[in-house]
Amino acid sequence: MVPNSLILVVLLVACGVSYLSYFLFIPKRVIMSVKFLMMGGAVGLMIFTVVLAIIDVQIVWLSWVLLATAILWLAASIPQFRNSLAESRARERLMNEHRARGH
């Protein structure tokens, strides 16, 4: 059985990466975006894991499924973070060019 602390640490990292991805480049449609789904999904999965720990559900295969899901969630959130970082840099570059032309 996989310890809940390991699952929660992986989910916390995935949520943190998704959080940074969302707030580095806030999309035009704030709630209806993939970045918000990635952030909210990780939080939802964390809450689900905590609820299972509180009611003391100890199913071995479920812990492995939760760990695999957490790892996949982390793997899916990293490209979102890289895209947000690139979008943020492009926006900064455009703002700097605009300032340089203005003066």
The total of structural domains in the chain comes to 1
d(CA 49, CA 12): 12
Per-residue model confidence as pLDDT tens digits over 68-101: 999 999 999 999 999 989 988 998 999 999 988 8
What is Dmax (Cα atoms) for the chain?
65
d(CA 20, CA 88): 11
Per-residue model confidence as pLDDT tens digits over 31-73: 888 888 998 999 999 999 999 999 998 889 999 999 999 999 9
| Cβ atoms 74, 17 nearer than 8 A | yes
State the residue range of the domain holding 28: 4-102
Could you tell me where the DSSP H helices lie in the chain? 4-24, 34-54, 60-102
pTM score of the predicted model:
0.84
Expressed in angstroms, the distance from the first to the final Cα of the chain is 63
